[in-house]
Structure 1
Amino acid sequence: MGDSLPFLVMVLLQAGYAGMNILSKLAMNSGMNPLIHVAYRQIFAAVVLVPFAYFLERKTRPRMTLPIFLQIFLSSIFGLTLNQLTYFVGLSHSTPTIACALTNLLPAVTFLMAVPCRLESVAIKSRSGQAKVVGTIVCVGGAMLLSFYHGSQVPIGESKIHWNYIIRNSRNSTNQTNHHNFMLGPFLLIASPVCWAVWFILQAKMSSTYPAPYSSSALMCLMASFQCVIIGLVSDHHISSWSLNPPIRALSSIYAGVVCNALSYCLMSWCIKRKGPLYVSVFSPFLLVIVAILSWALLEEKLYVGTVAGSGLIVTGLYTVLWGKKEEMISLANDFKIKHVEEFDIAKLENGDIEFVKCEK
């Protein structure tokens, strides 16, 4: 049960994220402004996280300083506000399948941005370095193919599920979209993992200076709530636009904030402690499969050759990057005479030295 429980948790998490994509798309199809949807998501996430942070870390929380506060503020801007605004606005102009496929660019984008910050090494002469570079190129190529080429429709037939509410809202949304929407959507969805990668780099530094993950997450959600509410009010200050009626708007906002912000963070942190970050990363493409099936079954989404081929390249590139990262860990582990590398995570110290941190069991 010890090894199967993290697997079950990660599968359920991907299913949870798939539900968020479908519900959020339905909410925006009903006319909900994606900027307002993100604002509500941050508010509900903060409401859930603040009590947990207070009670779980009230005795271990480090003292807040101005540099740490600024780090958390920047993390809230890139990791929550910009990341989610670009994602959900992009989702409103695209499809859940394309959105999930482009999210898998994250490891490649993080690698590209971490190299100049000296958080990652290229080592182009090694197999691991070559794999990371090739995987990054394949990921970017897949993203370009998916964004700019549709091709013919994949003949998979039509879904036998007919939910009148979903069909009506999906058709209304289809009638309102145009060519510029489909160009804007992928562009914003590519910008989202770029913002997320910046957040990873900021978190790599903050995790050592402020080791209180629940408190930092709660503060980030609180700051992002104010940021997103201000942005939402500037974009649409009509009170009626902030209504959570029809109920799909309330359901999607609460679900996204509670399940996909607060609960998912706690579960992923637990899995990272048990199995390491590489284990958590390999489940990302599973989300794409679930969303593609649900979008076809519920939203009448059509699959095109460009979407399938681009998604395949992105997933291939993702696993190539992850394989290169694993080979790098094995090579370093041999130098450190560590036998079971899967039980450890690499931590790069400020002076450039490498340290292996044992994952908790």
Structure 2
Amino acid sequence: MAGDYLVPLLLMVIVQIGYAGMNIMSKLAMDTGMDPFIHVAYRQIFGTMAIAPFAYFLERNTRPSLTKPILFQIFLCSIFGVTVNQITYFVGLKNSTPTVACALSNITPAVTFIFAVPFGLESLGLRTKAGQAKIWGTIICVGGALLLSFYHGHLLDIGQSSIHWKYAQDANQSSTSSNSHGSSFLGPFLVIASAVSWAIWFIIQARLSKLYNAPYSSSALMCFMSSFQCVIIGFIFNHDISSWALTPSIRATSTVYSGVVCTALSFCLMSWCLGRKGPLYVSVFSPLLLVIVAILSWALLREQWYIGTLVGSIMIVMGLYGVLWGKNKEMQSENDTNIPIDLKVIDIKELKAGKDDIESLFFKQTEINPQATKITSKSTEGIRE
């Protein structure tokens, strides 16, 4: 049906637009002088308030019991997946541009693959096309990230936007007067550190999701724990109480938007798409965020493009799709080799076999396909009948 194709597509496009808006507004808020540590702290607070109702109403009857080991893993997820990940990302965003930050965030699948191999969650598969695609994709991703971080090259003449946005003009004046753009190396470095932290979170979350199958509740707990962590870190780096004021209005808008749209709403939409289309479908939309942010940054923030930015971004996207293609082929191969005995081809009503005949049929099948060792309880009950 057309709805099965269009609805997930539309929802994932909405998610990427939502994240693009977060990058633009967060950059504007920090260019007006907002401390990125304070911005992250407010985002966790608003995110917790937004996602808690979903956790309570959708999982109150299905939520597993919360044990100390599970609580400790949620705590680790809050540190790596939320606190460290977002602090390094937003400090990196403050010291770079939205386009550079979004481009570098696309190296997360490649970094995750590097970390997953020692833990046995991924295999190299040097002799398979899928393994070679993942390895070369990772190399191209990392190479693009290094190029984007250390090389600018010539300025690309793509003209100037005629759009005049008051928020952007005020932010540009504030950032120019305070010279708050920082080091051109510090920003990309911190965004790469954010991708590394995100990859570590994937490793921990993969185990947690098997032990505690309540994604909304675990996310609410992560945001709740991270709220305390980020507030404490924010006060350590900024003792001035007046810095926590959500004025001018762009600061309040960006923090509420980031918490509600990019923490609560986007998680619900991606969870819905994950359940129907799988993780690969959700992953392939990541480069769309880069395209949207690049257009909005040029139109609203007067961002300039360089040769190094363009070539590095293209390499990162190519490497990303190489890793995803290899992972998809690997999953298809695993599904083909782990096929249970196909009992549907047997006419149950006409099969007049005793116990010995059924066992003979089973062992003949396993001789042909050693992986076919699973008989569903439903099928065996049908044969017994």
Shift of 1:3: 1.2
Shift of 1:175: 5.3
Q: Which moved more, 1:122-131 or 1:172-181?
A: 172-181
Q: Deviations over 1:212-251 (max 9, x none)?
A: 1111111000000000000001111211100001110000
RMSD (CA atoms): 1.4
Contact between 1:160 and 1:297, CA under 8 Å: does it hold in 2? Answer: yes
Shift of 1:2: 1.4
Shift of 1:59: 1.4
1:343 corresponding residue in structure 2 = none
Counterparts of 1:148 and 1:174 in 2: how far apart (Å)? 23
Kindly indicate whether residue 249 of structure 2 is the aligned counterpart of residue 247 of structure 1: yes
1:195 corresponding residue in structure 2 = 197
- Name the TM-score, length of structure 2 as normaliser: 0.86
Contact between 1:167 and 1:300, CA under 8 Å: does it hold in 2? Answer: no
Residue of structure 2 aligned with 1:131, choices 130, 133, 141: 133
Q: Which amino acid counterpart does residue 226 of structure 2 have in structure 1?
A: A
- The residue correspondences of 1:1-361 to structure 2 (distance < 5 A) are 1-174=3-176, 176-177=178-179, 181-337=183-339
Contact between 1:128 and 1:327, CA under 8 Å: does it hold in 2? Answer: yes
Counterparts of 1:250 and 1:304 in 2: how far apart (Å)? 32
Shift of 1:179: 8.6
Shift of 1:336: 2.5
Counterparts of 1:213 and 1:24 in 2: how far apart (Å)? 26
Shift of 1:178: 7.7
Q: Which structure has the greater CA radius of gyration?
A: 2
Instruction: Classify 1:191/1:23 alpha carbon distance in 2 versus 1 (closer, same or farther; 3 Å).
Output: same
Q: Which amino acid counterpart does residue 214 of structure 1 have in structure 2?
A: Y
Q: Deviations over 1:122-144 (max 9, x none)?
A: 11110000000000000000000
Q: Which amino acid counterpart does residue 62 of structure 1 have in structure 2?
A: P
Identity of aligned residues (%): 63
Counterparts of 2:208 and 2:230 in 1: how far apart (Å)? 23
Shift of 1:254: 0.3
SS in 2 for 1:181: coil
Contact between 1:100 and 1:291, CA under 8 Å: does it hold in 2? Answer: yes
SS in 2 for 1:89: helix
Counterparts of 1:69 and 1:85 in 2: how far apart (Å)? 22
Counterparts of 1:41 and 1:293 in 2: how far apart (Å)? 25
Counterparts of 1:171 and 1:197 in 2: how far apart (Å)? 36
SS in 1 for 2:127: coil
Counterparts of 2:221 and 2:167 in 1: how far apart (Å)? 37
Counterparts of 1:180 and 1:235 in 2: how far apart (Å)? 17
Q: Which moved more, 1:274-283 or 1:166-175?
A: 166-175
Counterparts of 1:262 and 1:140 in 2: how far apart (Å)? 31
Q: Which moved more, 1:164-173 or 1:247-256?
A: 164-173
Counterparts of 1:323 and 1:173 in 2: how far apart (Å)? 41
Counterparts of 1:206 and 1:303 in 2: how far apart (Å)? 41
Counterparts of 2:181 and 2:53 in 1: how far apart (Å)? 45
Q: Which amino acid counterpart does residue 282 of structure 1 have in structure 2?
A: V
Counterparts of 2:200 and 2:37 in 1: how far apart (Å)? 21
Contact between 2:130 and 2:329, CA under 8 Å: does it hold in 1? Answer: yes
1:358 corresponding residue in structure 2 = none
Counterparts of 1:178 and 1:249 in 2: how far apart (Å)? 16
Shift of 1:174: 4.3
Shift of 1:163: 2.2
- How many aligned positions are there? 339
Contact between 1:268 and 1:280, CA under 8 Å: does it hold in 2? Answer: yes
Q: Deviations over 1:278-315 (max 9, x none)?
A: 00000000000000000000000000000000000000
Counterparts of 1:189 and 1:80 in 2: how far apart (Å)? 14
In structure 2, runs of 5+ residues without a counterpart are 341-370, 372-385
Counterparts of 1:92 and 1:179 in 2: how far apart (Å)? 7
SS in 2 for 1:3: helix
Counterparts of 2:17 and 2:55 in 1: how far apart (Å)? 26
Instruction: Classify 1:89/1:12 alpha carbon distance in 2 versus 1 (closer, same or farther; 3 Å).
Output: same
Counterparts of 1:305 and 1:199 in 2: how far apart (Å)? 33
Q: Which amino acid counterpart does residue 206 of structure 2 have in structure 1?
A: A
